[in-house]
Amino acid sequence: MLTTASHCARIPRAVGSQIRGIHDLLNVSGKPIISYGPPGRSASGGHVATVFGCTGFLGRYLVAKLAKAGTQVIVPYREEDEKRHLKVMGDLGQIVPMEWDIRRPDQIAECLRHSDTVYNLVGREYETKNFTFGSVHVDGAERIAQIAAESGVSRLVHVSHLNASALSTSAFYKSKAEGEERVKAAFPSATIVRPATMYGYEDRFLNNIAVRPVHVMDVAQALSNIFEHPSFPGTVNLPGPSELTYEYVLTLVSSVTYRPPSRIPVVPKRIALLAARAAQNIWWPALSPDEVERRYINDADVPGDWDKVGVEPTEIEDSAITYLRRYRSADNYVRPVVLPPSRDTPYELS
């Protein structure tokens, strides 16, 4: 699950197991970076990276790729059980868990004080009484950027969303846009990465039924490749390779799983918003009104910057079976994949 696909070209870095070269001794913000050992998981690249949001969907894949390249990774966590699966992603001593709270500047500073690169992947799909979109995407992002700048961190990579816009009708997308501006003000050389809705093993897209979905492994590889660049300021847009409709995605899921399409009736937006507001009275997370709002917003039509990060994005049809096979019945489990004839033609199961 955590291997790199063949089309994800990692930016090459020559590392000899015994021979030292000029590339083995780098100087970032006055800190010597010395790499040694054979390439791979057991190497020591000399770099230290902090990944805020490492326990989330994208974070686990980024941690795996960084640790596999010999980077020591600081993994801030809030709950003890959330970080256990990250410990085995690197060699002994390469994964360093540290408890933190996004509202505690002292804990943030402690998590990044030895790092030369900081990733901020922190995000919320819905608001709670303790964490609003603003407190996480705006205030929290600004706090991390300010402390990173004060601590002399050489590089900050902030992950936003492809649809981030101050003019959006979604509070989620608005907060993402405001967070970007706060980060750039606090850390002018920060790299802003804008991926589209991601899919993978733990997603809320294929596994939950965005219209330009992008593979989570492609985004993780792009973030890992940015790590290899000495400087990468600016904004990087990472949309999916193709524009899809929800109707096509539902057809794709139906054809891959050999199950009939969902018979749930389509309700008007106004009724869906009322139902989502009523659902907020239960104690467990449910579909929020802002998530309903986001379902009615098309992904931004912007060109992708995949060539800048050395990754060729995966088409959803090429990997859907990996994540959807488990939903097949026993009789259909090993049947070949039959994809819809085209993205513009409705498909009926026989």
Beta bridge partners of 98: 76
The span from the first CA to the last CA of the chain, in angstroms, equals: 32
Per-residue pLDDT at 22: 47
**In the structure, what pLDDT confidence band is assigned to residue 15 with cuts at 50, 70 and 90?**
very low
Beta-bridge partner residues of 234:
191
Mean pLDDT, the chain, whole residue set: 84
**Looking at the domain assignment, is residue 264 inside a domain?**
no
Average pLDDT over residues 69-89: 91
- The answer as to whether 2 is a domain residue is no
pLDDT score for 31: 60
Q: How far is CA 28 from CA 132, 152, 194, 349, in A?
A: 35, 10, 25, 57
pLDDT of residue 200: 85
Entry field: residues in the chain: 350
CA geometry: angle at 120 spanning 89 and 62, to 5°? 25
Q: Give the mean model confidence (pLDDT) for residues 75-99.
A: 91
Q: What is the Cα–Cα distance from 53 to 60, expressed in whole angstroms?
A: 9
Least confident of 117-131, 143-157, 268-282: 268-282
pLDDT at 30: 55
**Is pLDDT at 242 greater than 80 in this prediction?**
yes
The predicted model gives 16-28 an average pLDDT of: 48
How large is the average pLDDT for residues 126-139? 93
Q: Answer whether residue 8 shows pLDDT above 70.
A: no
pTM value is 0.81
Angle 241-133-217 from CA coordinates, rounded to 5° = 30
Domain membership flag for residue 188: yes
Q: Per-residue pLDDT tens for 151-199? A: 999 999 999 999 999 999 999 999 999 999 999 999 999 999 999 989 8
| pLDDT band at residue 32 under the 50/70/90 scheme | low
Q: How many CA atoms lie within 13 A of 227 on its CB side?
A: 32
- Please count the CA atoms within 13 angstroms of the CA of 153 that sit on its side-chain side: 32
The closest of 33, 34, 42, 39 to 17, measured between CA atoms, is: 39
Higher pLDDT, 211 or 197: 197
Q: What is the pLDDT of residue 12?
A: 45
Q: Is residue 195 part of a domain?
A: yes
87/202: higher pLDDT: 87
256-285 pLDDT per residue, tens: 998 887 777 777 888 888 888 888 888 777
Asked whether residue 317 is assigned to any structural domain, the reply reads no
Q: Is pLDDT at 350 greater than 70 in this prediction?
A: no
Distance, CA of 83 to CA of 239 (rounded, Å) = 29
Q: Which residue has the higher pLDDT, 95 or 37?
A: 95
Specify burial of residue 199 (Cβ count, 10 A radius: 0-12, 13-18, 19+). buried
In a domain, 173, yes or no: yes
Position 206 confidence tier, pLDDT thresholds 50, 70, 90: low
pLDDT given at position 4: 43
Q: Given this model, what pLDDT does residue 243 score?
A: 87
CATH number, domain of 205, equals: 3.40.50.720
Is 340 a residue whose pLDDT tops 80? no
- Range(s) of the domain holding residue 109: 36-238
Number of domains in the chain: 1
Residue 261 maps to a domain? no
Calculate mean pLDDT across residues 217-231: 89
Query: With 0-12 CB in 10 A as exposed, 13-18 as middle and 19+ as buried, what is 224?
Result: buried
- Whether 3 is in a domain gets the answer no
CA distance 306 to 103: 34
Per-residue confidence band for 11, with pLDDT thresholds at 50, 70 and 90: very low
